[in-house]
C-alpha cells in the first residue's frame, strides 16, 4: 500500500466565471498547510425500532464545507486571497509598470479550489474567504484564511457496472447527494477501475458523465475519483513573500497623517509585532432542494489590529483612556517591476479610524516594558470608509475575473 507525503501535494485555484459554478483550477500556489473539511451533518437514526442500542444507521443532514489555509503572502498570491475576501475594483497599469488592484470591503468573487490528497484531488467550489489574518512570521508575511464553499467533489461510487471495451458513460450512485456529478466539468480526468477517463460531458441528470470510447472494467460499487493534476510553475514567476524588513507602518491622527508617517523610516512607528485580523462573517444560505448551501454571502464586516512595540511614553495609554481616534497605514514593498526601477510590487493597507481596546504595559523580569495593543478597526464617517486596500503586482486583472 502506498503512502503519500504532504509536501508532494498542491493547492490550485481559479476565479469562477459565474458565481458558484465550478471550473478546473489552473493557478498553482505553494502551500504551508490546509485543514479544509466537509461536515456532512450526519446524526444517528434514533427512531424507536425494537433495539436496545442507540441506533442502527446515520441520517443525512445539511452539508458545510470549509477550513483554514496558510500561504506565504507574495504579491501575486495576495491578489487571489484578497479577491476571494473583498470586492476588486478596476485594475490599472500594465505589465511594464505593474498592475494596480484596488479592493473594497464588499462581496467578493467566488473561486474553485483543488487540493491534492495522494492519488486524488479534493475540489471545492463557490469558495469565499471568511476570515483573513496577515502577520509577519520570521520576517515573511504570512496569510491565513478560513474559507467556506458551497460544495465539494472528490470521490463517487459507480451505480452501473462497466464491462470492458468501448465504454462511453459512467453512472454514479446517489448515496451522497442526488446529483453526485456536481463539481465536475468537461475536461476533468477521473479514475475508474484504475483507468484515466477524460470527461467530455457532465450530463444534466446529475448522475452521468460521458467520455470517448474507453476500455474500462469496474463493478457496481467501484470507486471513481478526481485525478490530481500535475503541479505547474506559477505564471507570473513566483515572487518572494513581502518582508517585514521592507515594510513601514505609520500612525497618525487621520489617514493623511498616517500615510505621511509611513513614507520614511524616520517617521514610521517601529512595531515589534503587527497582526491584521479581518472578518466577513459569511452566511451560508440553506435552501430546499439540496443538502449543500445555495450561496455564501458576507454579513457585517469587522477587524482588529494586534501590535507590540517598546513603551516610550504615556501617549498611547492616554489615547486608550480617552478613546482617541487614530489611523494606521502599512506600506510593504517588494521587488522593482519597471526596468527604470520606479515601480515595484507593493501592498498598501490604510485603516482610517482605529481605537485602542485594550492597551496594556505588562512587567516581566529582565524584559523591557511594551505597549501590547489591540486596535478595533472602525468605520470613519469623515472618510466614508473603514479600509483602503491596494495591491501592485505582476498579475493582470484577467486572472482575477475582469
Reported as a single tens digit per residue, the pLDDT across 127-168 is 999 999 999 999 999 999 999 999 999 999 999 999 999 999
Give the integer Cα–Cα distance in Å for 71 and 77. Answer: 8
pTM over 0.85: yes
Give the integer Cα–Cα distance in Å for 303 and 326. Answer: 15
Reported as a single tens digit per residue, the pLDDT across 58-73 is 888 888 999 999 999 9
Cβ partners under 8 Å of residue 89, min gap 6: 101, 102, 103, 104
Give the integer Cα–Cα distance in Å for 21 and 182. Answer: 9
Q: How confident is the model at residue 328 (pLDDT cuts 50, 70, 90)?
A: very high
Which grid coordinates belong to 40?
Answer: 456532512
Tell how strand 64-72 and strand 92-94 pair up: unpaired
Q: How confident is the model at residue 233 (pLDDT cuts 50, 70, 90)?
A: confident
Reported as a single tens digit per residue, the pLDDT across 98-123 is 999 999 999 999 999 999 998 899 99
Amino acid at each position: 500500500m502506498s503512502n503519500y507525503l504532504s509536501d508532494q501535494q498542491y493547492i490550485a485555484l481559479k476565479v469562477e466565471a459565474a458565481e458558484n459554478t465550478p471550473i478546473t483550477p489552473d493557478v498553482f500556489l505553494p502551500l504551508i498547510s490546509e485543514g479544509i473539511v466537509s461536515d456532512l451533518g450526519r446524526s444517528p437514526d434514533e427512531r424507536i425500532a425494537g433495539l436496545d442500542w442507540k441506533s442502527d444507521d446515520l441520517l443525512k443532514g445539511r452539508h458545510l464545507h470549509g477550513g483554514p489555509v496558510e500561504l506565504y503572502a507574495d504579491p501575486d498570491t495576495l491578489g487571489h486571497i484578497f479577491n476571494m475576501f473583498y470586492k476588486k475594483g478596476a485594475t490599472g497599469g500594465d505589465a511594464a509598470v505593474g498592475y494596480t488592484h484596488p479592493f473594497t470591503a464588499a462581496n467578493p468573487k467566488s473561486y474553485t479550489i483543488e487540493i491534492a490528497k495522494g492519488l486524488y484531488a479534493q475540489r471545492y467550489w463557490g469558495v469565499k474567504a471568511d476570515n483573513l489574518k496577515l502577520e509577519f512570521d520570521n520576517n515573511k508575511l504570512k496569510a491565513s484564511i478560513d474559507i467556506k464553499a458551497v460544495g465539494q467533489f472528490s470521490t463517487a461510487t459507480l451505480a452501473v457496472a462497466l464491462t470492458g471495451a468501448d465504454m462511453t458513460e459512467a453512472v454514479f450512485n446517489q448515496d451522497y447527494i442526488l446529483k453526485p456529478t456536481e463539481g465536475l466539468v468537461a475536461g476533468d480526468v477521473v479514475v475508474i477501475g484504475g483507468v484515466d477517463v477524460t470527461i467530455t460531458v457532465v450530463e444534466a441528470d446529475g448522475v452521468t458523465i460521458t467520455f470517448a470510447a474507453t476500455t474500462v472494467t469496474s463493478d457496481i460499487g467501484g470507486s471513481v475519483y478526481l485525478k490530481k493534476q500535475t503541479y505547474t510553475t506559477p505564471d507570473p514567476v513566483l515572487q518572494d513573500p513581502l518582508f517585514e524588513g521592507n515594510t513601514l507602518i505609520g500612525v497618525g491622527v487621520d489617514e493623511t497623517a498616517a500615510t505621511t508617517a509611513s513614507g520614511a523610516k524616520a517617521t514610521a512607528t517601529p512595531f515589534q509585532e503587527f497582526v491584521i485580523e479581518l472578518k466577513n462573517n459569511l452566511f451560508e444560505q440553506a435552501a430546499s432542494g439540496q443538502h449543500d448551501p445555495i450561496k455564501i454571502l458576507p454579513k457585517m464586516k469587522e477587524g482588529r489590529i494586534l501590535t507590540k512595540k517598546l513603551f516610550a511614553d504615556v501617549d498611547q495609554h492616554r489615547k486608550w483612556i480617552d478613546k482617541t481616534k487614530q489611523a494606521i497605514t502599512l506600506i510593504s514593498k517588494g521587488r522593482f517591476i519597471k526596468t527604470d526601477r520606479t515601480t515595484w510590487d507593493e501592498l498598501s493597507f490604510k485603516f482610517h479610524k482605529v481605537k485602542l481596546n485594550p492597551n496594556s504595559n505588562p512587567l516581566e523580569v529582565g524584559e523591557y516594558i511594551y505597549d501590547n495593543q489591540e486596535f478595533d478597526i472602525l468605520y470613519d464617517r469623515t472618510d466614508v470608509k473603514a479600509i483602503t486596500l491596494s495591491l501592485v503586482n505582476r498579475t493582470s486583472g484577467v486572472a482575477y475575473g475582469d
